Amino acid sequence: MIEIVDLYKYYGERRAVGPLSFSIEAGEIVGLLGLNGAGKTTTLRILACDLLPSSGSVRVNGLDVVESPHEVRSLIGYLPDTPPLYGEMTVRAYLHFAARLRGLSKASADKRVPEVLEATGLAEVQDQLIASLSHGYKQRVGIAQAIVHGPKLLVLDEPISGLDPVQIVEMRELLRGLKGEHTILLSSHILGEISETCDRILVIREGQIAASGTEAELSSKLLKNQRVEVTV
């Protein structure tokens, strides 16, 4: 579903990412774990066709993000680190707007939005203004807008960050539930936030993969004193 080979991204002279290579199979839920500034957001923005790579190859379902951004965007649901939610809109109106923005006809959006409200646990707050919602519900709205066009791949930038313990449990359940229909890549800077949710974790440090594996494999690497700098 994702194949990244020798990706580099420079901001001016500064290398933010690279050399970075990894792949993700369809149906996996994978965590991209790293400290602030490790290159997570840059990598996810390139996948979401929001930023051009400096060099290297990034493919989604076999399509190159530089050559076929339009097609790639239709395959991806993207939750940015600060999603552009419109506080003065109701949840339902916003999702309808997001659906139309992604090319659904009015009739398709009318059918799809109630399904998405149900799938993300937002049905009960659908008539509330987004500004009035808790952070946990706002994150759900962010996930809902990401899945509204039925993408195969979800790219979620720190979906669990800043949630309280109850909201974290609810978000984990939501993500595991979405796994049936979507391949998911999500970022975090805290291992404990994502270890239960993800099948596999990629540790990114200074724009490169420093370690990868299940939580158990990463823990055993830590025990063997390999340098895996993560916040646990």
Q: Give the interface with ligand ATP as residue ranges (CB under 6 A).
A: 11, 14, 16, 34, 36-42, 81, 189
> Residue holding tokens 């340098």?
227
Instruction: Decide if 143 contacts 151 (C-beta within 8 A).
Output: no
Maximum pairwise Cα distance, the chain: 57
Q: Least distance (Å) from ligand ATP to the CB of residue 205?
A: 10
Q: Least distance (Å) from ligand ATP to the CB of residue 139?
A: 16
Query: Please, which residue, 51 or 178, has the CB nearer to ligand ATP?
Result: 51
- Does residue 130 sit in helix, strand or coil? helix
**How many Cβ atoms sit within 10 Å of the Cβ of residue 52?**
12
Tokens representing residue 85 in the block? 């939610």
- Does residue 63 sit in helix, strand or coil? strand
Q: Least distance (Å) from ligand ATP to the CB of residue 194?
A: 13
Q: Least distance (Å) from ligand ATP to the CB of residue 33?
A: 10
**How many Cβ atoms sit within 10 Å of the Cβ of residue 155?**
26
Query: Please, which residue, 36 or 225, has the CB nearer to ligand ATP?
Result: 36
Query: Please, which residue, 42 or 120, has the CB nearer to ligand ATP?
Result: 42
Query: Please, which residue, 9 or 149, has the CB nearer to ligand ATP?
Result: 9
